Amino acid sequence: MSHASSLKARRQRQKNRKLLDAAAKKAKRQAKQALAGPAVKKEKVKKEKVKKEKVVTEKVKKAKPPKEESGKQDTKKGGAGAEGKGAS
């Protein structure tokens, strides 16, 4: 028997075996369903959707710092930038 024909026989055997196994599983499944009797469907219960009420929130305005404080912050920012440039 040549190698090609042995491979062909092997494929054919696998195919037949697969078909037989599938048929056996199907028969077993049908027998199980026959024993169980007719299927009873459960009624679906719809849940009522609850609408969420929108809560109105008041916007809070940000408090601006006095001009004296804002000036101090500007000088701090400018001073740090000058040091960075001088270091490089």
For the chain, domain boundaries: 1-36
* Secondary structure string (H, E, C) spanning 45-60: CCCCCCCCCCCCCCCC
Backbone φ and ψ of 82, nearest 5°: -70, -35
Question: How does pLDDT run across 44-57, given as a tens digit for each residue?
Answer: 888 888 888 888 77
Q: Is the pTM of this model over 0.75?
A: no
Encoded tokens for 48: 């009522």
Encoded tokens for 46: 């719809």
Encoded tokens for 82: 């000058």
Backbone φ and ψ of 61, nearest 5°: -80, 140
* Segments of the chain scoring below 50 in pLDDT: 88
3-state secondary structure of 35: helix
Contacts of 9 (CB under 8 A, 6+ apart): 1
pLDDT of residue 78: 55
Query: What's the one-letter identity of residue 63?
Result: A
